[in-house]
Amino acid sequence: MPRRGERKRRRLPGDPTDQRGFSTMVEQYLEWMAIKNYSPRTVENRHLYLGYFITWCQERGLTRPQEITKPILERYARWLYHLRQEDGRPLSFRAQHSRLVPVRAFFKWAARQNLLLFNAASELELPKLEQRLPKAVLTAAEADQVLNQPDVEDVLGIRDRSILEVLYSTGMRRAEVIGLGRYDLDVDRGTVMVRQGKGRKDRMIPIGERALAWLDRYVTEARPELVVEPDDGTLFLTNDGAAFTPSRMTQLVRGYVVAAELGKSGACHLFRHTMATLMLEGGADIRFIQQMLGHAKLETTQIYTQVSIRQLKEIHAATHPGARLGRRAAAEDDDFKEDLDELLDREEEDDDLDDYLRGDVGAAG
């Protein structure tokens, strides 16, 4: 039976009575992942993408992993490249990558478990991922504009303002905010404990005083109106007393971003990008931002050095001759015109002197 908040998995395509068939072996692989403490989200994604692969194989008369060879896998990769979605757009290279990684992982596992004689996917090359910048980042003023959207005279408005404040102050992931418990907050120390974040890792991070103030108001005024006994300790509750689902949390945050009429789109991750960018522009070391965001690799955090443009603009204005000239002409327009007139006068005097030296006295004067 699935845990609370988890969706019941659909049965994989294929014959479940065939012990060597795709359906049976993939179910064994997913069970192995659960035993090895892979996150439920990872297991769910592997189930989904392996289901796509099994369906593709069955349409071509392939029902067992033993029948798969390297050329077949390369054919599947080409098919993904040419696949078109309902709106006619191709799959992004990141989407193609996401569908191929579970396939490669499954065949590696099957070979190591001696269920297959060889790993047909051992030399399968994955698409090279492009490095993308966040689509949008809010300024401090824009973030405050979004935060001011909820009606804080209402119980749900207090809750929503608290959620937005936590996202903005900590840069937590959507799932991490959903999973917060009442006692994960340490008001005295000004910290919040993120339990079992991405990669099954706990981390303790600071949270701002303003966010703590709104959380205190939510816990004392709003949450008691939303909780349904028995109380499992989940911090943020929906209007029916349940924990948020990912889609519902996204819908809530996106609604306030749209209502702010900033011309920018996004939801929970928009505040994550904003927090990291504003901290970097404020002088924070990138290693501290890495710890805040819970990134396993510093390279992942370094993307924000390209988003943080303010310092680069200051350096550009201070060192580029064209940037300084334009800034001076705009700020000191009258002085610039006087300097330009004086320069032209000097050039005319130089021309008169040249005419005199050439003996063209009449021209000189």
- Give pLDDT tens digits for 76-131: 999 999 999 888 899 999 899 999 999 999 999 999 999 999 999 999 999 987 76
Question: 241 and 159 in contact (C-beta within 8 Å)?
Answer: no
Q: What is the largest CA-CA distance in the chain?
A: 112
Q: How far apart are CA 153 and CA 339, in angstroms?
A: 60
Quote the pLDDT of residue 243: 92
Question: 53 and 76 in contact (C-beta within 8 Å)?
Answer: yes
Q: Would residue 82 show up in a list of annotated catalytic residues for this protein?
A: no
* CA nearest neighbour of 17 among 67, 68, 69, 63: 63
pTM strictly above 0.85: no
* CA nearest neighbour of 252 among 313, 145, 174, 338: 174
Question: 233 and 183 in contact (C-beta within 8 Å)?
Answer: yes
Q: Would residue 316 show up in a list of annotated catalytic residues for this protein?
A: no
Q: Would residue 304 show up in a list of annotated catalytic residues for this protein?
A: yes
pLDDT tens digits, 22-54: 999 999 999 999 999 888 888 999 999 999 999
Quote the pLDDT of residue 165: 95
Q: How far is CA 35 from CA 19, 43, 61, 116, in A?
A: 20, 11, 32, 21
Q: Which of 70, 198, 203, 254 is catalytic?
A: 198
Residues in the chain: 365
Q: Would residue 272 show up in a list of annotated catalytic residues for this protein?
A: yes
Q: Would residue 269 show up in a list of annotated catalytic residues for this protein?
A: yes
Q: Which residues of 79-104 are buried (b: 16+ CB within 10 A; e: fewer)?
A: ebeeeeeeeeeebeeeebebbbebbb
E strand or H helix that includes residue 359:
none
Return the CATH superfamily for domain 22-112: Tyrosine recombinase, N-terminal domain (1.10.150.130)
Q: What is the DSSP letter of 158?
A: H
Q: How far apart are CA 37 and CA 159, in angstroms?
A: 33
E strand or H helix that includes residue 205:
strand 201-206
Q: How far apart are CA 222 and CA 157, in angstroms?
A: 9
Instruction: Write the CATH number of the domain with boundaries 140-311.
Output: 1.10.443.10
User: Which residues is 91 bridged to in the sheet?
Assistant: none
Q: Which of 99, 174, 272, 273 is catalytic?
A: 272
**What are the residue ranges spanned by the domains of the chain?**
22-112, 140-311, 321-364
Give the contacts of 162 (CB within 8 A, at least 6 positions apart). 211, 214, 215, 217, 218, 222, 236
Quote the pLDDT of residue 341: 55
Q: Which of 47, 159, 161, 173 is catalytic?
A: 173
Quote the pLDDT of residue 167: 93
Q: How far apart are CA 39 and CA 2, in angstroms?
A: 13
Quote the pLDDT of residue 59: 94
203 three-class SS: strand
Q: Which of 99, 161, 174, 295 is catalytic?
A: 295
Q: Would residue 173 show up in a list of annotated catalytic residues for this protein?
A: yes
Q: How far apart are CA 71 and CA 153, in angstroms?
A: 63
Q: What is the DSSP letter of 90?
A: B
* Spans of the chain below 50 pLDDT: 1-6, 329-331, 336, 340, 349, 352-365
Give the contacts of 2 (CB within 8 A, at least 6 positions apart). 8, 9
Radius of gyration of the chain (CA): 30
